[in-house]
Amino acid sequence: MRYITPLLLIALAGCQEASPSLPEPTPPTPTGEPNLRLIEVASGLSQPLYLTHAGDGSGDLYVVEKGGRIRLIQGGSLRSQAVLDISGKISTGGEQGLLGLAFHPGFRNNGYFYVNYTNTAGDTVIARYTMNRSTKVADPNSERVVLTVDQPYANHNAGWLGFGPDGMLYIPLGDGGSGGDPQNYAQRLEAQTGNRHLLGKVVRIDVNTSDSGRNYRIPPDNPVLGGQVSEIWAYGLRNPWRASFDRATGDLWIGDVGEGAMEEISLGPKGGKGLNYGWRIMEGTRCNDNSLPPGCNHPSLTPPVHAYGRGDGYSVTGGYVYRGRRFPRMQGRYFFTDFGTGRLWSLRQVNGTWQRKLELSQLGTGLASFGEDEQGELYLVNLLSGKVWRMEDQP
């Protein structure tokens, strides 16, 4: 139906949160342009689609495999024993699978981490597991389901989740799938059975407490949308494939995969609640359905900071603003790529305008996700080749 879907199905990559760390002063931005290269860190993974760290000072890296396992890279080596294997309880077709991973800000003390997966019924599950911090293994029976969202179609499951600088868990969800969001889930705010009102939204919940029989609490400072405060923080997303928090500013960056014409990078300033990112009224900067309120290009919609068409790619993979220390010329740039074409760009704001630069090309298909370590250094994960690389700026 559109070009994107089959690819995405395969791609499903995810990025992960920047574990909430105190904002650090941003070093001055050097004027030189980075000269990127990729250094292989690991290979032999099975459909990896995300990489993150536990925020525990260990230097360990965790890689998510679409088929249902979490792997550990420790001291530069990929451990054969999985951290978690829930391959028996998930669906792995197309865009389904184990899709995201986020460590609790207090992981060092409680061993908690959260995953986003597609269960055997095809629905989205957000669940907590507890890891033994000595063995770095989690008992599959430690699962505590936080939230389940009915998925009306198999595609557009998004998958990323991450803790914001406010300690809340953010979960950008896809529009439920099919093509063109036929039930208009992404714009509908009223409560629906099976939590389908959360489709096409950024969900924001407090997992440290609970209310009303839920395993979480709706933060009272969530926006009033459709006349009520709910789990919805922002809306109007189609299939947000990887998001991240800028660890210096707290801004939320989202790569949202387009329908048939445009890919987009959207931005939510720290604390910017209630934003409507536009889908399916808009596809990127293109008017898609002007019959829906409030109509195309309405000032109440939040347009992407960048959008690109089929000449550049067909399935965006959202990335990170680089905040590491090793490569000053990368500082402050937002890196992202396209799953299909393997082009990798950066965005940076110059005189109030977001400017794009092509950093690398010909990386091939399959770049399903970026990842970030505790120091803020960046990685790339290829779903198809099973490899993980570190991004470097060579002098």
Chain centroid to CA 118: how far? 15
Asked if 322 is part of the footprint of Ca ion (rule: CB under 5 A), the reply reads no
Looking at beta carbons only, is 43 or 297 nearer to Ca ion?
A: 297
Contact 307, 262 (CB under 8 A): yes
- Please, what is the Cα angle at 19 between 315 and 242, to 5 degrees? 10
CB of 236 to Ca ion, least distance (A): 6
Backbone angles phi and psi of 206, in degrees to 5: -105, 110
Please, are residues 10 and 94 in contact by the beta-carbon 8 Å criterion?
Answer: yes
Provide the token pair at 368: 């399903």
Where does this chain touch Ca ion (CB under 5 A) — which range of 131-139, 271-279, 312-320, 344-352?
A: 271-279
Rule CB under 5 A: say whether 340 interacts with Ca ion. no
Query: Which CB atom, from 159 or from 278, has the smaller least distance to Ca ion?
Result: 278
Question: Closest approach of Cβ 78 to Ca ion, in Å?
Answer: 37
Choose the stretch contacting Ca ion; rule: CB under 5 A; options: 49-57, 75-83, 115-123, 275-283. 275-283
State which of positions 110-169 bind Ca ion (CB under 5 A): none
Total residues interacting with Ca ion, rule: CB under 5 A: 2
Q: Which stretch binds Ca ion (CB under 5 A): 8-16, 129-137, 276-284, 327-335?
A: 276-284
Task: State in angstroms the smallest separation of the CB of 116 from Ca ion.
Answer: 21
Instruction: Give the Å distances, CA to CA, from 389 to 11, 76, 82, 385.
Output: 17, 11, 20, 11
Note whether 384 and 10 are within 8 A (CB).
yes
**241 touches Ca ion by CB under 5 A:** no
Structure tokens at 376: 């803020």
Per the CB < 8 A criterion, the answer to whether 279 and 329 are in contact is no
Among 129, 245, 277, 314, binds Ca ion (CB under 5 A): 277
How many Cβ atoms are within 10 Å of 144's Cβ, its own excluded? 12
Nearer Cβ to Ca ion (20/177)? 177
Query: Is residue 235 part of the contact set for Ca ion (CB under 5 A)?
Result: no
* Cα angle value 230/307/343 (rounded, 5°): 115
Asked whether position 308 contacts Ca ion by CB under 5 A, the answer is: no
Question: Which residue, judged by CB position, is nearest to Ca ion in the bound state?
Answer: 278
Indicate whether 278 belongs to the interface with Ca ion (CB under 5 A). yes
CB 303, min distance to Ca ion, A? 7
Q: Rounded to an integer, what distance in angstroms lies between the CA atom of residue 367 and that of residue 14?
A: 10
CB 292 to Ca ion: min, Å: 13
Cβ-based nearer residue to Ca ion, 277 or 379: 277
Which region, judged by CB under 5 A, interacts with Ca ion, from 48-56, 177-185, 199-207, 270-278?
270-278
Site for Ca ion contains 170 (CB under 5 A): no
- DSSP letter at 304 equals -
Task: Residue 377: name the closest of 267, 266, 247 by CA.
Answer: 247
Strand 334-338, strand 344-350: pairing:
antiparallel
CB of 14 to Ca ion, least distance (A): 19
- DSSP H helices, the chain, are 4-11, 107-110
User: Under the criterion CB under 5 A, does residue 245 sit at the interface with Ca ion?
Assistant: no
Rounded CA separation 378/386 (Å)? 17
Residues in contact with Ca ion by CB under 5 A are 277-278
